[in-house]
Structure 1
Amino acid sequence: MYIQTILGPISPESLGVCACHEHLSIDLSRIKGDLDTALQDVSLVTEDLRSFKEYGGKSIIEVTNYGMGRDVSALLHISKSLNLHIVASTGCYKDPFIPEDKFHFTRDDFYKWMVDEITNGLDGTNVLPGVIGEIGSSYNTFEPIETELFYGAIEAAKETKLPLSTHTTLGTMAIEQINLFVKEGLSLDQVIIGHQDLNPNDAIVLDVLSSGAFVALDTIGKENYRKDADRLTSLLAFLEHGYEDQLLLSSDLTRNSHMRVNGGQGYDVVLRSFVPTLRHFGVTEEQIQKLLVTNPQKAFSIRKEVNSYAI
């Protein structure tokens, strides 16, 4: 098993403290009509990430895919500047963010294109993705193009063994995503269901966890969506039910205003703020190690061998 970073494969044990769902170069302004959602200032992002590093952060799963403003050169610069492991993504996001050249793709088109990126590299480079994601469904539904996208992503994941990380709009459609993966025979130990800290129904999240999939509580600090105190209450419940081996943490920053210099929470919010609160509420160091280190190692490992690691 190995984890594919943008600088080459590493052993899972080399991943370290990992943010499971972030964006270091993203532009959603074409659809959102808001330049705040064009987070593409490499210097700004690099400086903000320094605090993440200072708090012990070592790795980022970067889930900006095709059509979201993915910038391989920016990721390479950040990785080398900060000695930070970055895992890049293949795939498309969700309707209406899927770009025009892919909007009429069938599931087979998506499958072949993703496998090509996984095999040959991203955007004309030799940089290989290490995750299929974030693959998204809409609010309480799969739009037709999203259905094709999911089927294509499933086949690509089955063939290449890459982990598959999903987007659930405001936490919805998590069970439906799981049911689709089960129906299509995708191993749930290579699936990360995203944004479940935005799902206020703990019973649904517990059902997702009972399936064996990983669950990302990955919008920590976005209190305009849900208060972190409520996220904490849910997380404590999931731990109480014994699911400490399947939970992942991150903050999903997507805006210039999310940078700390601009008054935002910053990439360090989980390590700086949320984790100390977990300790205060009795979460053990062993459990925190699982949330930040051990679980990402398992979730983002590619379950096949390579000849050597570039560690």
Structure 2
Amino acid sequence: MINPTGYTYVHEHLHIDLSHEKNNIDCRFDQYELIRDELKVLKQKGVANIVEMTNHYMGRNAQFMLDLMRDTGMNVLASTGFYQQKFYPDFIASRTAPALAKIMIDEIEQGIDGTALKASVIAEIGSSKDVITQDEKKVFHAAVLAHQATGRPLSTHTTLSTMGVEQVGLLKQLGMDLNHVVIGHCDLKEQLDNILQMIDAGAYVQFDTIGKNDYFPDQKRIEMLQALQQRGLLNRVMLSMDLTRRSHLKVNGGLGFSYLLDQFVPMLLNAGFSQTEIELMLKENPKRFFG
């Protein structure tokens, strides 16, 4: 559960391996000492929680997370679920939604891979670019069933900020309480109207690829946040960076985990956001949502 005393990064990875699918060793994010050292610095800056989004077949490593918690004092919330179509194991196609839900429920109630670490979040449940496939719809159904059985919140993946509105519609149709849903990666393109629709339906949204300026500039992220600020909707927004590659770590030449606090927060303050609004997005909203 959430440590209420500090900030929360709501969409991160501490051990993920998509290198086989992407044919790129940079996508094997597993350098323990380097990640440990960055988390120690992050904790000194006031971050108390990392919501770790890596689930089945993405290279999740429960013992790695437990070791990081022991060595850094950082609270890590682990996830259960399945990612998106091209990363699914073969059995997804043949199993029912209740059978897939049981896998998630067991990891929430009993633990992950025989360790003491229990999943706290159903995530990251994803859709493909510009489509939600039939198998993805089944996994969303399973995620709803797992939420209904455990009460744990659901955090999604939208590929390049597509299909967020459709995810909300599907989840509503499946009977999900949207107060327990956050739509991920809403900040990879200009889409204020879609974000307003998601919030109006009752969901939270994440600006969780902060610093990935090659996808979408941070200044544009701030402009969308300003539009939400003007409408009094920052109480439905959470922030993160979604680091997934070795090259994202500071010592490897990347921005590093601290970029959000060291660079992006001052940009927000300069753009007219108050410290109270920053606390809302980085502390109060995650505390309310992740519990």
Check if 1:170 corresponds to 2:140.
Answer: no
Q: SS of 1:64's equivalent?
A: coil
Offset at residue 166 of structure 1 (A): 0.1
| 1:55-90 deviation digits (Å, cap 9, x = unpaired) | 221110000001011101110111111111100000
Q: What do residues 174-219 of structure 1 show as CA deviations (whole Å, max 9, x unaligned)?
A: 1111111211221111111000011312111111111221100000
Q: Is structure 2 residue 181 aligned with structure 1 residue 181?
A: no
Give the deviation of 1:101 after TM superposition. Answer: 4.1
Deviates more, 1:231-240 or 1:19-28: 231-240
Provide Cα deviations, 1:246-269, integer angstroms capped at 9, x if missing partner. 100000000000000111011111
* Aligned residue runs from structure 1 range 1-311, under 5 A: 3=1, 13-14=4-5, 16-301=6-291
Judge conservation of contact 1:25–1:40 (CA < 8 Å) in 2: yes
CA–CA distance in 2 between the matches of 1:234 and 1:50? 31
Segments ≥4 residues shifted beyond 6 Å? none
User: How far 1:108 sits from its partner (Å)?
Assistant: 1.9
Deviation, 1:93, is 0.6
**Contact 2:210-2:260 within 8 A present in 1 as well:** yes
Q: Which amino acid aligns with 2:148?
A: K
Aligned length in residues: 291
Mapped to 1, the partners of 2:93 and 2:58 lie a distance apart of 14
Contact 2:208 2:239 in 1 (8 A): yes
* Contact 1:106–1:149 (CA under 8 A) maintained in structure 2: no
Instruction: Give the Cα separation in 2 of the matches to 1:87 and 1:103.
Output: 28
Deviates more, 1:105-114 or 1:27-36: 105-114
Q: 1:28-52 deviations in whole A, cap 9, x for unaligned?
A: 0121111100001111111122332
Q: Report if aligned partners of 1:104, 1:145 keep a CA contact under 8 Å in 2.
A: no
Q: Is the 8 A contact 2:49 2:75 kept in 1?
A: yes
| Distance across 2 between alignment mates of 1:94 and 1:288 | 31
How far does the alpha carbon of each residue in 1:145-199 deviate from its partner, in whole angstroms, 9 at most, with x for none?
2111111001111121100000000111111111112112211111110000113
Q: Cα 1:269–1:105, aligned 2, differ >3 Å: closer, same or farther?
A: farther
Rounded Cα–Cα distance in structure 1 between residues aligned with 2:55 and 2:150: 17
State the alpha-carbon separation in 2 of the partners of residues 183 and 224 from structure 1. Answer: 35
Q: Report 1 or 2 for greater relative contact order, CA contacts < 8 Å, sequence distance ≥ 6.
A: 1
**Partner secondary structure for residue 142 of structure 1:** coil
The runs of 5 or more residues in structure 1 that have no matched partner are: 4-9, 302-311
Contact 1:132 1:157 in 2 (8 A): yes
Decide whether the 8 Å contact of 1:194 with 1:217 is kept in 2: yes
* 2:87 aligned counterpart, secondary structure: coil
TM-score by length of 1: 0.91
Q: Measure how far apart 1:100 and its partner are.
A: 2.9
* Cα displacement (A) at 1:299: 1.2
Deviation (angstroms), 1:244: 1.4
Fraction of identical pairs, as percent = 39
Post-superposition CA distance 1:129-153 (Å, at most 9, x none): 1000000000110122211111100
For the 8 Å contact 2:92–2:135, the answer to whether it is kept is: no
State the Cα distance separating 1:224 from its structure 2 match: 1.3
| Mapped partners of 2:134, 2:169: distance in 1 | 17
Q: Is the 8 A contact 1:199 1:205 kept in 2?
A: no
Which runs of no fewer than 5 residues in structure 2 stay unpaired? Answer: none
When normalised by structure 2's length, the TM-score is 0.97
Structure 1: which amino acid aligns with 2:106? D
1:106 to partner: Cα distance: 2.3
Q: Bigger CA drift: 85-94 or 116-125?
A: 116-125
